[in-house]
Structure 1
Amino acid sequence: MLALYNTLIVLFTVVMMEIVATLAHKYIMHGWGWGWHHSHHTPRTGWFELNDLYAVVFAALAIALIAFGTAGYWPLQWIGAGMTLYGALYFMVHDGLVHQRWPFRYVPRRGYFKRLYLAHRLHHAVRGKEGCVSFGFLYTPPVAALQATLRARKALNARGKGAARDAADAAQASRRES
């Protein structure tokens, strides 16, 4: 029975890590942690990027949990194991499939992996840290919804620039009249 509990803890942790990673990606990596994550949104030169430090931080936390758990603090080792499994899945899907950091290339043509691939490509379609879509790694909203969101933001941004341009023109005309 304990083996069942431990397995459920590992699986539950994988699901929770997707939620934690999505929130961390949106509010930390695209927020105050942009200094590390910025390297992930620019062309990579070499094997590593500064963004990889996030994986090191999560790995260190998983190692610490496994160490405390094996020292007698159940179920921490199973939470750490779930984090490790999530990290392996992340490495395979995000780094391997989406960003092709492996020595072979594979672009999925259909199904779940194509959806992940396209959603993450849409995430990188926006320059900078603002206005991105799809912050998840193993789950993404439907691609059509992400495309609609990007189109709506682009249209809103274009209208905003137009309104700002109109206001600047009006201000300049007012200054000329004075």
Structure 2
Amino acid sequence: MKGIKRLIFLSLLVSIGLGLSIIESMMPVPFVAPGAKLGLSNMVILITLVIFGFKEALTVGILKSIIFTLVSGSVTSLFYSLSGSVLSCVLMFIIYNNFSNIFSLIGVSIFGALAHNFAQVLVASLMMKNFRIFSYLPILLLTSLFTGYFVGLVSIFVVNNLKKFFDNIFYSKN
């Protein structure tokens, strides 16, 4: 896919990621793990990574984070969202490109969720100048296993259905 069609498809992915972020921000926070979210917008980053590649996935993640900050009005959310998106995208790219013979998209997604939560806890500890925040990391990492599994499962479904209709758009790792 080239030119304007590619740009439109990527714009749609940014819009879907933004919409999922907005919906997710309205969901009640679970009592078991405050701050934990499903990571629905990370699904869009993973799908973009599979379809287009790293550069496009990173661009979608960054644009989604910036636009969400403008829509929500929360400047601090930019730091959390951006750090999580970038680190998870980098790790998912490494796992997907080098270890896809070992890990399915579910595994790639779980690694992305783990990286996303680690980045957010790191940013929170730096912003608050309190490294005791890392004591909360095990709870978030445990939550990441479940949310990453769910996001990976849905991503497999979406990617398989996109392949049926748009097989020529997929990024080749080779």
Q: TM-score, normalised by structure 1?
A: 0.29
Name the structure with the higher helix share.
2
Larger Rg: 1
Q: TM-score, normalised by structure 2?
A: 0.30
